Amino acid sequence: MNNLIIEKTKSSPAVSFNAATGKCELSGSSYPENANEFYTPVFDWLKKYMTDITRELYFTFKLDYLNSSSIKFVSELVDRIDKYSKAGVKNEIEWHYKEEDEDILELGKEFKEEVSCKFTLTED
Amino acid sequence: MDENFCDRRILIVDDTPENIDLLGEILSCYKRSIALNGEKALKLASGSLKPDLILLDVMMPGMDGFEVCKRLKNNPETKDIPVIFITAKSEVEDETKGLELGAVDFIPKPISPPVVIARVKNHLELKVVRQNLEEKNKELAKHNKYITDSINYAKRIQNAILPTADQLKRIFPDSFYLYIPKDIVSGDFYWFKEVDDLKIFAAVDCTGHGVPGAFMSIIGNTLLNEIVETFKVTDPGQILNRLDIKVITELQKDINIQTYDGMDLAIAVFDSRKNLLHFAGAYRPMLYFQNGQLFEIRGERKSIGDPKKEITFTTHTVKVESEIEVYLFSDGFLDQNNFEDKKMGSKKLKELLSGIHKKEFSEQKRILREEFEKHRGEITQRDDVLFAGIRLRPVNKTEIISFSGGMSYDKIISMLDELKEKSQNLLAVKQSKLVFFCVNEFLQNIFNYSADIVYEGEKQISSGFIHAELAGDNIEITSGNRTSIETFERVNQKIKYLNSLDPLQLKSLRKEKIKEESESTSKGGGIGFLEIIRRTNSRIIISSENCGGNFVTMKFYIKIYLGDANE
């Protein structure tokens, strides 16, 4: 299975998903003009990983801005990882936020409440 | 580029026939035109066999190459033909001069045939590319204009749907909104309605901006109208629950299809009868200041139109005990980044609002806009911006204007002036004028026409009072006189009798009274308001109460309907 690498742009985050190690990172700002288009390969990769590789995922979010549609996609992403955890896989999610970035911290707290897998909030 | 350029025409300009022959031979694969002087060259360049490229000698008797080039570039017909200078003069300043005049290249003498061939080919290719680009640009500009025109028209429709600032002021006299769409049309919109004693305001942020956002805003606006107007739902939590179901069903959402289109919104409902402010939010908070302290009520962590989250929207209630400033907004203001990619953020917003919340709203709007622009700087606006502020005051807890003593006409008028001034805080100027005229007329009626009825048999009355209270958009007037219960009963009966009359009978009775009045000098509180019931659309309700002893008061309420402002 291939890694998924998408370069960071002004309005979309860098995607770096490693199929061999299960280390996945999403970093940057997310407000693409068409969020659906941007996140489709992300979800496709994840789905394939979960059915083909079936190992743990170590997910790192280092987002500094998400527009309202992106929040929905990221929320869905967290949700999928959590469901995958419930199937018995020990996944880990790390949510990074910058000092004083209340909004990103709040969003992280919200996700943390909703999931049952390991979820850590890390201040950068 | 594999294109064969043999059908292209080269114009060779040189005063020396040998040079022309040489160049002609080198470029034998092209069609060629020849000119031995500048004048001929200009003529051929704009003639029917228009060249695709010109090789131009600089040193020529009469008009030199530079002058020819200058004229070619000044003529719209020939300005796009690339010019290559061929000359023995190869000093830098000559090249510079030639290039400044618009030449594309320089080929030094003595000529090297491969160089000439290569450069000519290059420039012919470049010319084609340039032409293509120009055509594409024109096409793009055309398409762009077409799309922009279309969106601009859509903007007219969106603007027509959005209520105006004047309409907002009628419902919330002390309010403002800042509305900065990212594109021509916007996914943010504001919505408000008045239903009986309830005043409702919503700040809505649809997913996406621009055209997709605008489409969604139309759906949102329509659904809100339907829920509140048709289904009479006025509890904000319930409004959001209904809206959620509606958006999910209207957009025919399938839980298996990944679409996250919907809206985030904050909705506040002010109950002016109970002095309560109700709030519900879908991913949007409400900020408010009460007694100088800032409070935040967070909305539910769910967007409208998200079929996956089974969260019910709940209503939060705040008692409006003193004046409060309420702020509802989309995330566009907070999320704007600056050149360091730092967001405005809620912390900064709260600090900002804490400093300015007591200022006039027009001033606050100016400051917020300035702060936004200052923060944004040269950075592109990220999202649509909507920011609204509403100031609410508890009603009933009113300022009482009263006076005691004889009810002289002058005193009533001065009281009315005070009333008018105070009512301006509460009502838009237009309404306050209407109230003023209405009350004025009303009091004149009391003053002029009813004295003989009230004081029938008791002509020694020397004191009276009028209380006028501002209660929401009601003006409550209490008129009292030192009088007996028996007299009051008689007055009441008289009121009932007058109320039972039809307008014609009332009119003739009124004429009679005016006639009587001109012969009478007694003055006091009374029942002349009955005339107003028939003459304006403002509702006047009378109730009476006995304040004990022989002191009797009568209360009149004047309800001003906003819809009557033009009458």
Q: In which element (H, E) is residue A92 found?
A: strand A92-97
- Quick check: helix, strand or coil at residue B542? strand
pLDDT (tens digit, 0 to 9) for every residue of chain A, 124 residues total?
Answer: 899 999 999 889 999 999 999 999 999 999 888 888 999 999 999 999 999 988 999 999 999 888 888 888 899 899 999 999 988 889 999 999 988 888 899 899 989 998 999 999 999 8
Q: Is A101 on the interface with B (CB under 8 A)?
A: yes
Q: Is A82 on the interface with B (CB under 8 A)?
A: no
Q: Tokens in use for B192?
A: 């408000």
pLDDT (tens digit, 0 to 9) for every residue of chain B, 567 residues total?
Answer: 445 678 899 999 999 888 899 999 999 889 999 999 999 999 999 988 899 999 999 888 889 999 999 999 999 999 989 999 988 766 667 778 888 888 999 888 888 899 999 999 999 999 999 989 999 999 999 999 999 999 999 999 888 888 888 888 888 989 999 999 998 999 999 999 998 889 999 999 998 788 888 999 999 999 999 999 999 999 999 999 999 999 888 776 555 555 668 899 999 999 987 889 999 999 999 999 999 999 999 999 888 988 877 889 999 999 998 899 999 999 999 989 898 888 888 889 999 999 999 999 999 999 999 999 999 999 999 889 999 999 998 865 333 333 333 344 455 556 556 655 655 554 444 444 444 444 544 444 443 322 223 333 333 332 334 444 445 555 555 554 444 555 556 555 665 665 566 666 656 665 665 555 444 433 333 333 333 333 333 333 333 333 333 333 444 444 433 333 332
Out of B306, B337, B347, closest to residue A72 by CB:
B306
Q: Do residue B343 and residue A101 have CB atoms under 8 angstroms apart?
A: yes
> How distant is the Cα of A99 from the closest Cα of chain B, in angstroms?
11
Q: Are B396 and B274 in contact (CB under 8 A)?
A: no
Out of B264, B341, B346, closest to residue A68 by CB:
B264
Prior bond to B110 cis, omega within 30? Answer: yes
pLDDT of residue B373: 95
Q: Do residue A79 and residue B205 have CB atoms under 8 angstroms apart?
A: no
pLDDT of residue B169: 86
User: Kindly report the CA angle at B192 between B191 and B193, in degrees rounded to 5?
Assistant: 140
d(C-alpha A19, C-alpha A2), whole Å: 6
Q: How many CB atoms lie within 10 A of CB A59?
A: 22
Using alpha carbons, list the distances in angstroms from residue B321 to B286, B337, B529: 18, 37, 33
- C-alpha R_g of chain A: 13
Inter-axis angle of helices A68-86 and A102-114, nearest 10: 30
- C-alpha R_g of chain B: 41
Token pair 């190869």 is found at B90
Report the residue of chain B nearest A98, measured CA to CA. Answer: B342
Q: Do residue B331 and residue A67 have CB atoms under 8 angstroms apart?
A: yes
- Considering only CB atoms, which chain A residues are within 8 Å of B308? 76, 79
Of B188, B217, B492, residue with least CA distance to B332:
B188
Out of B258, B334, B341, closest to residue A103 by CB:
B334
Burial B12-37 (b: 16+ CB within 10 A, else e): bbbbeeebbebbeebbeebebbbbbb
Q: Do residue A35 and residue B346 have CB atoms under 8 angstroms apart?
A: no
pLDDT of residue A61: 96
d(C-alpha B479, C-alpha B446), whole Å: 10
d(C-alpha A35, C-alpha A26), whole Å: 14
Q: Do residue B260 and residue A102 have CB atoms under 8 angstroms apart?
A: no
Out of B208, B264, B347, closest to residue A100 by CB:
B347
Domains of chain A and CATH, by start:
4-123 (3.30.750.24)
> How distant is the Cα of B207 from the closest Cα of chain A, in angstroms?
6
pLDDT of residue B177: 94
Q: Is A124 on the interface with B (CB under 8 A)?
A: no
Q: Tokens in use for A99?
A: 């000092």
- Name the amino acid, one letter, at B519: E
Count of alpha carbons within 13 Å of A35, Cβ hemisphere only? 22
Using alpha carbons, list the distances in angstroms from residue B479 to B447, B489, B552: 11, 15, 9
> How distant is the Cα of B341 from the closest Cα of chain A, in angstroms?
9
pLDDT of residue B548: 33
Strand order in the sheet with B324-329: B175-180, B385-392, B324-329, B286-290, B293-297
Out of A68, A76, A102, closest to residue B331 by CB:
A68
Whether the full predicted model's pTM is greater than 0.80, yes or no, is no
For B453-511, the three-class secondary structure string (H helix, E strand, C coil) is HHCCCCCCCCCEEEEEEEECCEEEEEEEEECCHHHHHHHHHHHHHHHHCCHHHHHHHHH
Q: Tokens in use for B219?
A: 């759906």
Q: Are A22 and A55 in contact (CB under 8 A)?
A: yes
Alpha helices in B179-265 (DSSP H): 210-225, 236-250
Strand ranges inside B88-135, DSSP E: 105-108
d(C-alpha B407, C-alpha B454), whole Å: 14
Q: Are B277 and B318 in contact (CB under 8 A)?
A: yes
pLDDT of residue B73: 93
Report the residue of chain B nearest A65, measured CA to CA. Answer: B335
From the centroid of its chain, how far is CA B536? 34
pLDDT of residue B508: 67
Q: Are A28 and A22 in contact (CB under 8 A)?
A: no
Q: Tokens in use for B129?
A: 């590319």
β-strands B198-206, A4-6: how paired?
Answer: unpaired
> How distant is the Cα of A72 from the closest Cα of chain B, in angstroms?
6
